[in-house]
Structure 1
C-alpha cells in the first residue's frame, strides 16, 4: 500500500512536533514496518474486522451516492460470524474470506473475536452492540447450533413464530441490548417463510478527553450544489489534536482523542464535495494505523458538528460486492436446520450522539493559529486504539438531514 504523503505546511504543527518527526521517520519507513503493524491476535482480529468494515462501507457508499451513510462494522462481523458456525466447511471458507478472517490463521478465531467484542463494549468506550440470528417458523432448527452460538457469543439464535409480534420481539431485544438507544430496527414484518435473518445494531456515545467550551452555536454548513444549512456546532480554541494534510487525497485529517483509548478521525476534503470516492477507496486498517503514527500534534480552533443520527438499511444486497455471490446462491447452512436454508436479510441499524463534555479543559495558552472547521461534507471514523478495530464509520454530506 502506498504511504500517505503529508504536506505538513503548518508551522505551528512542525514546531510542536519536531522531536517526534525526527524519530518517526525511522519507525515508519520501509516495508518491514507494514508486516509488524498487527502482531497480536487482538490487533490482527481488529484489522480483519476493520478491513471487512471498510469494504462494506465502500459498497454501501457507492450504492447510496451523495447521501449520509453510516455503519458499525464490528456488529455486522459479529452477526455474520455467528452465521458462519452454521455453514458447511466450504460455505464457512467463503464467508471467512469476505470477513477477512482468511488472513488470520487463528485456530482460536471465535475466542479472539469474543474477547475483542467484550473489550470494545466496556462501558467507558461508549459503544453498545447487538447481533443475533432469527429463523423462519418453517425451518426445523438444530438445537446443537443454537447451543454452540450461545456458548460462544452469549446470545441464543431465535426461532420466529411469524407475524407482527416477531417485529415487536426483535425490536425490544435490540433496544434492550443498546440501552434503549436503537429503536424500531424493523418497521415491517419479515417475509413469511423467509429462511434465516440476521440483525445487527450499535449505539455510540463516546466522551472526549478534552471538553468543548461552546456547544450549540449555529453555523453555516456548506452543501454540495445547494444552499448552506444552519446546524449546531461544538467549538473550542486551543484544542489538542493530531493533524496532517494529504495532497493525493486532497483532504486534511485530524485525530481527536476520546476517553478509554478511543479516537475519532475526521477527513475533511479541501473542496465542498459529496463525491468522496477517492478517499473512501483509500481506507484500510493499515492506512488508518499509518495515520495514527504519522499525524502530528497541534492545537487548533476546532469547530465540529454536534451529531445526532439514526440510520438503518438491509445490507444483504451488498454482500455480492464482497465476493459472496456464489455463497448467497447456495449458503449451505446445513448445521442450522434439517431443511435447506438461505440468508434472507441482514438488517442493520445504528445511532450515534456526540456531546461537548470531556474530563479535562484545554490549555489556557494564547489562541491557536490553526483552525479546523468541519463546515462542509466530511467522512469520519471511530476507532479503538488498543486493538485498532473500526467501531463506527460515516459520511456526512448534510447534517440537517440527520435525526435520531
Structure 2
C-alpha cells in the first residue's frame, strides 16, 4: 500500500477521483444505550473516556480470500444492476437535468456491506435486494474483501519517468464509547473490510461530526471536507440520537497511459443539454491507442491509465437517447465492453473538474428503490440492545480530468536503432470529439469493479 506521504512527490494527476459514503445510525427512544457490565442506561452519564479512543477486533484481516469465479461474476453483474437503478433514481430526484452527476458504486457498496453485516430479517432481505448482495452474508463479504485487496494491488510507486498510481480505500466504524456492539460484528468488519473502530462521544454531536469530517478529509487529500453536513449528527441523550457512523473513503490518483500534450489544448465549443454553447478547454490526442466501439449509436472510447489495469470509459450517447438520465442497463454496458477494439483514435476531450457543493443525502432514493426496513431498525446482529436504524446516507464525489503530468522542459535525444525498420507514425482510424454531454465510467478491468460513474453535462469553462 502506498502511503499518503508519497503524494506530494507525484506529478499532477490526469484523473483525480474520489468518493465516500457514510451511514449514520440513530437510536430511538425505546433503545437507550446499555452498559454491558450492569445493564444500566449510560448514554446520559458522564462516565467513559473524555477523548476518543480506538478499539480493534482481535481477528486479523483475511489476506487470502478465495471466492469462486462464479461468485465474483455474480457480484460484478449485481453491482452493475444496482448502479443502473440508483443512478436513475438519483438523476430523477436529487439533481437537475442539466447538472453533472458522479457516483461511486464501489464506495457505496463498501459502506453498505459493513452495515448489512449486522442486519437481520426484513432489513437484511431488503438491503440484499437493493444492493444486489445475492450470495448470502459470508460469500458477499469475502468477495468484497477480494476486490478491495485486488484494487490495493493497483498501487505502483512509479519512477522518474512514470508518476505513481495511488488507489486507496479506507473503512472506519465510529461508535459511541459505551454503546454495546457484538464482537462477532466487529470481527466481520475487521476480517473482510480491514475496518478499524473509533470510539467517540456522540453526546456532543457537533464535535463528533467535525472529527469524522476531518478523518474523511485526511483520507481524501482534502478533496472532501464536509461529508456530514450540519445537524447530520444528533446529540445522544437518554431519549435517543446518533450512536454510530460507518464510513468508506476512496481515493485515486493515476496518470494516462499516453498523456495529452499541454500544447494541444485549446478553447472549443461544448453544446449543453439546453442547446446553448459554452467554451471549454478541449484537450487533443491526434492518434492515441485506445479501445473504441460504436454500439447502437453509442460511440465509446476506453482510455487506459498507466499499467492498463484501470481505464476511463467515455460514452457519447445518441442525441435522442435518455441514457444521460437513466445510465446504461447491464446488458447495454456488457455489449459496449464486448464491442471494444484497440485502435488509434483522434480524440477531443474537455478538461473538467466536478466538485459538488454538498453531499447527496440518499435516504429517500434508497427508500424509493425498496429499502425501507433499515430506516426502522433490524441490526440486531451488530447491536445486541436493538433499536438501531439507519438515519441517512451521505455520498459525495469529486472527479477531475486534465492533461497534467507533463512538466515543461526541453532536451533532444536521437536514438539509433539496430536491426529494425523505423515505423511510420500511426494514423487515426476514427475521430471522436466529446463536445456535448457524455457518460463516463472508471473501472478496474480485471475485476470489473465500477469505481466511478456519471455524466458530464457542464465541463469546466475555458
Give the TM-score, by structure 2 length: 0.68
Aligned to 2:214: 172
1:277 deviates by 4.0
- Cα distance in 2, alignment partners of residues 291 and 210 from structure 1: 22
SS at match of 1:166: helix
Aligned to 2:347: 302
- Cα distance in 1, alignment partners of residues 380 and 403 from structure 2: 46
Moved more, 229-238 or 151-160: 151-160
1:52 paired with 2:99, answer no
State how 1:230-245 maps to structure 2 within 5 Å.
Answer: 230-245=279-294
Q: 1:151–1:107: structure 2 CA closer, same or farther, 3 Å change rule? A: closer
- Write the deviation string for residues 187-207 of structure 1: whole angstroms up to 9, x where unpaired: 424241145544344333332
SS at match of 1:342: strand
Match of 2:91 among 54, 61, 75: 61
SS at match of 1:224: coil
Task: Determine if contact 2:324/2:439 at 8 Å carries over to the other structure.
Answer: no
Match of 2:205 among 163, 166, 189: 163
Aligned to 2:23: none
Aligned to 1:318: 365
Larger helix percent: 1
- Cα distance in 2, alignment partners of residues 309 and 72 from structure 1: 13
1:203 paired with 2:234, answer no
- Write the deviation string for residues 192-243 of structure 1: whole angstroms up to 9, x where unpaired: 1145544344333332212212464222211122532222222110112222
1:278 deviates by 7.3
1:74 deviates by 0.7
Task: Determine if contact 1:205/1:353 at 8 Å carries over to the other structure.
Answer: no
- Cα distance in 2, alignment partners of residues 292 and 100 from structure 1: 21
- Cα distance in 2, alignment partners of residues 278 and 69 from structure 1: 9
Structure 2 unaligned spans of 5+: 1-67, 157-164, 235-240, 407-422
Q: 1:241–1:305: structure 2 CA closer, same or farther, 3 Å change rule? A: same
Aligned to 2:322: 276
Give the TM-score, by structure 1 length: 0.77
- Cα distance in 2, alignment partners of residues 327 and 187 from structure 1: 21
- Write the deviation string for residues 122-181 of structure 1: whole angstroms up to 9, x where unpaired: 324643334444446895444553344234322134454223211221112212333444
1:347 deviates by 1.4
1:385 paired with 2:445, answer yes
Task: Determine if contact 1:130/1:200 at 8 Å carries over to the other structure.
Answer: yes
- Write the deviation string for residues 229-268 of structure 1: whole angstroms up to 9, x where unpaired: 2222221101122223233xx4322222223411222111
1:68 deviates by 0.9
Aligned to 2:117: 85
Aligned to 2:140: 109
Q: 1:279–1:175: structure 2 CA closer, same or farther, 3 Å change rule? A: closer
State how 1:337-352 maps to structure 2 within 5 Å.
Answer: 337-352=384-399
1:146 paired with 2:186, answer yes
SS at match of 1:210: coil
Q: 1:358–1:210: structure 2 CA closer, same or farther, 3 Å change rule? A: farther
SS at match of 2:388: coil
SS at match of 1:184: coil
1:227 paired with 2:276, answer yes
SS at match of 1:98: helix
Aligned to 1:8: none
SS at match of 2:196: coil
- Cα distance in 2, alignment partners of residues 257 and 175 from structure 1: 28
Q: 1:376–1:364: structure 2 CA closer, same or farther, 3 Å change rule? A: farther
Task: Determine if contact 2:171/2:194 at 8 Å carries over to the other structure.
Answer: no
Q: 1:277–1:79: structure 2 CA closer, same or farther, 3 Å change rule? A: same
Aligned to 1:6: none
- Cα distance in 2, alignment partners of residues 353 and 114 from structure 1: 27
Aligned to 1:120: 151
Aligned to 1:397: 457
1:379 deviates by 0.8
Q: 1:113–1:132: structure 2 CA closer, same or farther, 3 Å change rule? A: same
Task: Determine if contact 2:121/2:378 at 8 Å carries over to the other structure.
Answer: no
- Cα distance in 2, alignment partners of residues 98 and 348 from structure 1: 17
Match of 2:72 among 28, 36, 42: 42
- Cα distance in 1, alignment partners of residues 326 and 292 from structure 2: 19
Match of 1:264 among 301, 312, 315: 312
Q: What is the Cα-based RMSD across aligned positions, in Å?
A: 3.1
- Cα distance in 2, alignment partners of residues 369 and 113 from structure 1: 39
Task: Determine if contact 1:208/1:357 at 8 Å carries over to the other structure.
Answer: no
Aligned to 2:32: none
Structure label with greater radius of gyration:
2
Task: Determine if contact 2:259/2:403 at 8 Å carries over to the other structure.
Answer: yes
Aligned residues: 356
